Chain A
Amino acid sequence: MDHSVIDSTVILKTFEIVVQARSVTLIEILEALNPQEDARVEIKSEIHEALDWLVERGLVKVREAPIEDFSIYYVTSDGLLAWSSLKGAGVLDKDEPASRLITG
């Protein structure tokens, strides 16, 4: 299996929300990450890119809805295993953003 490295705080935070919620819509991710309504528009594209990255690597899957905000993103078994590796490595306990997550 390919090894992938998470080196972005946005990807990590997005992944954290999806893992903890198990399944969640795009609008819920935005609300959870940024309760400030005004700032959501700015981060939406970043979150979308992060989700695409996670979907591409099989850590998250998506069930499309007619309106993008309500597409449901859910964590896969690979995603759960990757998250527990990350927790096991103690990366999440540090103050600094997680610098790497090796999947697979």
Chain B
Amino acid sequence: MLSGTAVSVFLAILFTLLCALVEVLTGARREIEKKSIPRTQPKIRSCVTTKYWLYVGGLIPFNVASTLLAWYQLPRWFPEFFDWLGRGSNFMFAFVGVFLFQVLVTNTDIWIFSKGVMAFQKWTSLVRTPAIGAAIEKESERDRRRQQLIADALYDVISETDLNTRIREIVGGEEADRLDANAQEADDSKLYKLLWLARRDPTAAESILNAKESS
């Protein structure tokens, strides 16, 4: 029996990690659709930060407690169902404890005399938002580093004329002309175009780099 409980607790911790990761990933996603803004979304590895672990650490005690509550109470309410489930009931306790409890709690605010005495929605948001902010920060640093690395790597291997041709192929004449006009105002027009390409279409920029390196 003890090992069954341990399995439920282990699964509850696993579900908590997963649940927190999905929430942070969703929170860090772009909510805007503009042609000029890259459509890339944050990667899972950007979401795993110190603040993510703090968020998980804050959730685990509650999720384990609710899993233990489910383990204690659910077989008393639905004995036949849990007899039928057998060993699968350990999974069910953790699932109910983590997901249903979390859905219930995170969508509940209790107000007494116009005061949010048990404002769970707000509390969970206050713990979750720093984890989302940290993921956005990590992803932004990753983007900046990648943008700079690609631009630096391409700078010496591609001529500006060749770069103009490639950009024209990728984005079309009108946008390439606009970029060219903007780049002329910068101190280094080639670097301007490389940074633009690395930001707007990193995959194309990387494939140009790979082609240049292999030729």
Q: Residues on A close to B: CB < 8 A?
A: 17, 19-25, 27-28, 31-32, 37, 61, 63, 65-67, 69-70, 72, 74-81, 84
Contact = CB atoms under 8 A, between A and B. Distances in A.
B136 to A, nearest CB: 5
B192 A37 contact: no
Contacts of A72: 140, 143-144, 147
A74 B178 contact: no
A76 B141 contact: no
30 contacts: A20-B30, A21-B30, A22-B31, A22-B140, A23-B136, A23-B143, A25-B199, A28-B37, A32-B32, A32-B37, A61-B140, A63-B141, A63-B144, A65-B148, A66-B191, A66-B195, A67-B188, A69-B182, A69-B186, A69-B192, A69-B195, A72-B147, A74-B136, A75-B133, A76-B133, A76-B136, A77-B129, A80-B129, A80-B132, A81-B125
Interface of B: 27-32, 34, 36-37, 42, 125-126, 129-130, 132-134, 136-137, 139-141, 143-144, 147-148, 178, 181-182, 186-188, 191-192, 195-196, 199
Contacts of B27: 80
A22 B192 contact: no
Contacts of B126: 81
B178 A37 contact: yes
A77 B140 contact: no
A74 B199 contact: no
Given A76-B133, A77-B132, A70 B37 contact: no
A61 B129 contact: no
Given A70-B199, A74-B137, A31 B34 contact: yes
A94 to B, nearest CB: 20
Nearest to A25: B199
A20 B32 CA distance: 5
B132 A65 contact: no
A22 B34 contact: no
A70 to B, nearest CB: 4
Complex A-B, nearest 10 residue pairs according to Cβ-Cβ distance, in ascending order:
A77-B133, A31-B36, A20-B32, A23-B140, A74-B140, A63-B144, A70-B195, A77-B130, A20-B31, A77-B129
A28 B36 contact: yes
B140 A81 contact: no
B32 A70 contact: no
B141 to A, nearest CB: 6
A84 B122 CA distance: 10
Nearest to A78: B133
